[in-house]
Amino acid sequence: MQSKNLRTLDRSSFYTGFSFFFLDPYIQIIGVALGASVLEIGSFTAAVFAAQLVSNPLAGHLTDRIGRSKTLAVGCFVRVISLSMVGLAFLAQSPITILLGRTFQGFAAGFFWTASYAIVADETDMGGRGREFGQMSQWVNRGMLVGALGGFILLLIRLDLPPYLFAAAALLSGLYALKIVPSKTGDHNMKISAGQSVTRNTRASVGLLGLNTLNSFAMAALTSVMIVRVSRIVFTPTTPINTQAILIAIATAPQVLILAIAAPRLARFVDTLGRARPLVGSILFLIPVSYAFIWMSDLWQFALLGFLLSIAAAIASVALNAVVGDLYRSRRGLAYGGLNTSSSAGSVLGALVSGVLYTAGWDKLVITSVAVQVISLLALLLLWKAYLPYDVRREKPVITVITPKE
């Protein structure tokens, strides 16, 4: 049964999720409407992750020092400011204001995700951790659906109205975050086994950071200018921007819908099969799906491939977050801050590379993403064999949790 803190976190996640489904394609569409270049549109995404390079380690420190609840709330309230700036950007006809708004959004995201992951890890034991990460994802995706519906309605009235709805939802998310109280549960039965060294645990952590950087680079390189690609090959120059935004949102709706329904069920693979198998399987699945984007030429293909991509990425994310929760029994804020920082670093590079390679050819961009995924898969196999021979199905894990030195 879920703890009270997890139920409150689910509500906070629901309202934070309002903008996730709608905002990224919306930003790219707004950029097209304002006449921004592909490189500028890529920078809108890069700015989010660049800000997280600062906010993730800071959030990790604050999560452990001042508490999960306050750090989470700060992220939500900063998000209110960032979303309001995006709405004002269209009125001001200013791509620079979008860039600033996205920067604040990235800063807020670092606080929200780092604190949220630490709360889930605190409130769960190893056998149920994956399921609870999936439960949180489910509520985020439910918020995405509700936010998208509201965004569609407001979009029909005026192009700049949806961000204000999302800002109001972020405010509610912050108020729920303040209701979460400190917890000392989870992993109470873990002991340091004989012969298990801190050095080995440190190497495992460093390996996970490198793996996450590669995965994030590959995904950001492929998706940062995806909407620009779809807009140019599917629609004509005379197609209204509002129409493009609505049709693209409808095409991406199935992936959000399935995660809003089945995210905890998908996440259970991480608890029942161990951490390694779902992670390896998800990357193996991502490689051919990503490569298939070379031949994308219609909206239904974008919808199908995006759906498959999101399912595999969701499982990979749950597995990585569960591993970090397993490895760290204290100072989890710092641990998740590091994990999210590695993701941001990879995403910044991927977003910037996408803006450059897109002009050289879509196929070159896709092949680059796939090549990095292959490297990531090989790195994962090496990492697990050397440092993480852990299977959650065993009653006594081969690697147990080591509490880092304070």
Residues 15-61 have pLDDT tens digits of 998 887 666 666 766 666 667 666 677 677 777 878 888 888 898 88
Angle 362-386/332-360 helices, nearest 10 degrees? 150
Report if residue 282 sits inside a domain.
Answer: yes
Report if residue 93 sits inside a domain.
Answer: yes
Q: Residue 166: which of 225, 110, 82 has the closest Cα? A: 82
Report if residue 236 sits inside a domain.
Answer: yes
Q: Residue 341: which of 213, 215, 220, 214 has the closest Cα? A: 213
Q: What is the CATH number of the domain that holds 30?
A: 1.20.1250.20
Enclosing domain of residue 39: 4-179+192-386
Predicted local confidence at residue 386, as pLDDT: 62
Between CA 141 and CA 147, with CA 146 as vertex, the angle to 5 degrees is 90
Report if residue 392 sits inside a domain.
Answer: no
Report if residue 184 sits inside a domain.
Answer: no
* Mean pLDDT for back-to-back runs of 10 residues, the chain (406 residues): 86 89 68 68 74 87 88 92 80 74 85 90 81 88 87 80 89 93 52 42 76 89 80 81 76 79 81 83 92 90 89 87 79 83 85 82 91 91 66 40 36
Report if residue 112 sits inside a domain.
Answer: yes
Residue 124's H or E segment, with its range, is none
CA–CA gap between residue 217 and residue 366 (Å, rounded) = 12
> Cβ(205)–Cβ(327) under 8 Å?
yes
Report if residue 311 sits inside a domain.
Answer: yes
Predicted local confidence at residue 287, as pLDDT: 93
Number of structural domains in the chain: 1
Unique residue bearing structure tokens 């147990």: 400
Report if residue 40 sits inside a domain.
Answer: yes
- pTM of this prediction exceeds 0.75: yes
